[in-house]
Chains A and B, each alone.
Chain A
């Protein structure tokens, strides 16, 4: 009898002890533990893998089960749209393509993080959110109609990359000066860019930097596949030449065939002869790969991609011969210096998600300085990612392991005179660039002129804008 009671006492005591120990430890996570978060991420974007890793890492700590289904960006776009239209609550977190994010925020397909934060202030952990530890340009770029959409996934937008072995070669320098009358250097204007592209476009059998070419070489390469890729490459020129991105936001009128736009278009078409013939169908991955192959002298592309494909010796044949700088300008066009596309794929809450709080907390933790830094240093340094937090990028450990980080920051993120811009959130935008982009593509392949093509595209866009009620 006594023994049995004693046993029970011990058991009870042990249980109580366990309870005392377990509850506090579990209290922090028990709220979200066991919640399954369904995430859609796009394959093939350099930022997807790091985002996946930080989400999973945060999920481990919070006890949420982060399940990811991978799709191509197009698939993701279509699937989300259909799911949303039919009222399917099956997702929690999405990585949204920059052209869609404004529309989707308006439609309710995604719930901007800013909105969620404003409506649920007690859930927010300000230290983890650390909004002050983002670059100004990031916050600005990720705000739509005054509401913050979500955390930036990486930084630096597009930059100009070039081959140092060519630019520094004494023979080439001498010949360049003789031909164009000024020294070969990083192009400050688009005219210089054009000259350099022309100079380095050579046929098989000619000499380049002291050796004979085994195949044709090109001055530059763009991703000109219609319509999205083409437009995203062209848009840097459009902005630099002082034109609007398809329409004038003040009057809401399309300005596809404005004089500046036509000038930009003509300049762009002129560059076609300095590019590999496949450019008419290149995606940005292909274009970057051609540069990494060593067939191209200069390229304008997202820093993250060139870092991953071009500066990584495991993937590139010219890894140690690359340098970068800001994009050129068009002299005389004020306010558009070094115009560069910044990029804005964003991670957001799915509008119909049933687990918004758990999802939000997971995102918040994932993007916290600690988790981001940990994952970056463990898996992605030096070529795989550029986390968007200045504190991480300025961290001495990071700068030691990523030698180009400091110059990248100085040249691209800390200068105040770069015109970084973002895409229009207008729903009719895609229709407009479909018209303008097809016209530009036709001009590039020689079947129409820029004036004619843009003129027709202007009419088409005006019809669409009229129907949408923006203009009479």
Chain B
């Protein structure tokens, strides 16, 4: 939205953005800082804001803990869960946004129920199910479970985005003889691209960060990054902040890269705008 506006206005906006950036980035800076402090300086008073970096924490996690395998696990699982959730949730969102049918409201509400209680409370039954299916310590198990958490999220977001697509477009397609599938795949999906990307990013992040089920359902082969991270939150016998911070820094990296890659989908003006105009 380019528009003429007063310079005061511009300055105010600019200030707001700067404040937001400082607010957002300084804890991240401190996280990084903590990861490069040696154990002697971590508990120092007053706290230091600049240090000569010591990479002992990173060395520890790379060589002693070999954490990269857990990161690969996390990535595979998060990616798989996201895809699955988008497919299942997306198809349902289309139905909700396009048609009316008996029981629509209650069904919608019922679908959201899955996100209303802490996951930990269904831990035991789900664990028993996974055990029964012989899927303990596998990637598939977590993909299936995480997708089930994300489906309501996808449903909620995509239903909203899908209903933003003007009726006329789909109606004219039906008149031309298209089937609902064609309308869904060729018309609605491309137009709601930014919504799908947003939903996908959120699913991915959530699956990436999930902890309780990963802890309980994995032990060696499918252990994920958050579980390893949580291993270091305790400071009972030793101070583990350095390693924790280093792991934290690493946890952000891959998702950031992934997101940067997808960011071009967030650029304005793709298709939808042209159509509406």
Contact = CB atoms under 8 A, between A and B. Distances in A.
A172 B126 CA distance: 64
Contacts of A75: 215, 227, 230-231
A285 B124 contact: no
Contacts of B197: none
A88 B234 contact: no
A286 interface: yes
Classify the interface of chain B: helix, strand, loop or mixed: loop
Interface stretch (B14-22, B41-49, B91-99, B100-108): B41-49
Interface string B46-81: 100000000000000000010000000000000000
Contact of A43 (B220, B239, B240): B240
A203 to B, nearest CB: 13
A164 interface: no
A289 B236 contact: no
B136 interface: yes
A17 interface: no
Contacts of B259: none
Interface in B103-140: 123-124, 127-128, 131, 136-137
Contacts of A295: 45
A283 B220 contact: no
Contacts of B223: 69
A308 interface: yes
Contacts of B216: 78-79, 82-83
A48, A72, A74, A85: which has the most chain B beta carbons within 10 Å? A72
A82 B43 contact: no
B238 interface: yes
Interface string A198-233: 000000000000000001100000000000010000
A72 B232 contact: yes
A305 B238 CA distance: 7
Interface stretch (A3-11, A309-317, A325-333, A399-407): A309-317
Contacts of A86: 124, 127-128, 131
B39 A315 contact: yes
B131 A308 contact: no
Given A74-B234, A78-B215, A82-B127, A289 B239 contact: yes
A75 B131 CA distance: 19
A82 B234 CA distance: 21
A215 B48 CA distance: 14
Contacts of B6: none
A286 B43 contact: yes
Contacts of B127: 82, 86
B234 A73 contact: yes
B167 interface: no
Contact of B46 (A46, A215, A314): A215
A82 B123 contact: yes
B235 interface: yes
A79 B231 CA distance: 12
Contacts of A393: none
A67 interface: yes
B45 A88 contact: no
B123 to A, nearest CB: 7
Contacts of A46: 237-238
A47, A85, A86, A305: which has the most chain B beta carbons within 10 Å? A86
22 contacts: A43-B232, A43-B234, A44-B232, A45-B238, A47-B237, A69-B219, A70-B65, A72-B230, A72-B233, A75-B230, A79-B215, A79-B219, A82-B216, A85-B124, A91-B219, A229-B236, A283-B236, A284-B235, A285-B235, A289-B42, A308-B237, A309-B238
Closest 10 CB pairs of A and B: A285-B235, A45-B237, A283-B235, A289-B43, A72-B234, A215-B45, A293-B43, A285-B239, A46-B237, A289-B239
Interface of A: 38, 42-48, 67, 69-75, 78-79, 82-83, 85-88, 90-91, 215-216, 229, 283-286, 288-290, 292-293, 295, 302, 304-305, 308-309, 314-317
